[in-house]
Amino acid sequence: MQNTRTCKSCGFSSVIFEEFSNLSLNLLPGASVQEMLQDILTETELEYRCDCGANTSRQQHNFVTLPRVLILHVKRFCFTQFFKLKKLSHPINLHGELMVSSSQVSTNSPEPNIHIWSVGVFNT
């Protein structure tokens, strides 16, 4: 996984490469796993103090290569405004295959597919 942080003021970029085999996805109401995966790969704005003195940066995650096995964990709990845990019960649209677009993969490989082999459901 390639994580790129770019200062919105001066444009300085910091790139970090990480090996991974699992990703935690935010549970989005009415979204498919494909859309939740797209959500974590979408560029976000974050508060980060750059050497130039600016406080805002952009962060982007991209796949460099896909692992042979990828575990997707859907976060089904969130904090309320009063910092209490709340269980989310939104249904998840699950298809047998996930598409990862070439814009999400740093290499020039063909459009990769991720085949879903099993699903684990835990009730608490």
Backbone phi and psi for residue 100, each to the nearest 5 degrees, phi listed first: -115, 120
Share of residues in the chain with pLDDT > 70 (%): 74
Question: Is 34 within a domain?
Answer: yes
Backbone phi and psi for residue 25, each to the nearest 5 degrees, phi listed first: -105, 140
First vs last Cα of the chain: how many Å apart? 31
pLDDT of residue 72: 84
The mean of the pLDDT values for the chain is: 81
Summarize pLDDT for 10-50 with one digit per residue, the tens: 999 999 999 888 888 888 888 888 888 889 889 999 999 99
Q: What is the average pLDDT across 93-105?
A: 62
CATH of the domain at 49: 3.90.70.10
Question: Is 99 within a domain?
Answer: yes
Question: Is 72 within a domain?
Answer: yes
Question: Is 124 within a domain?
Answer: no
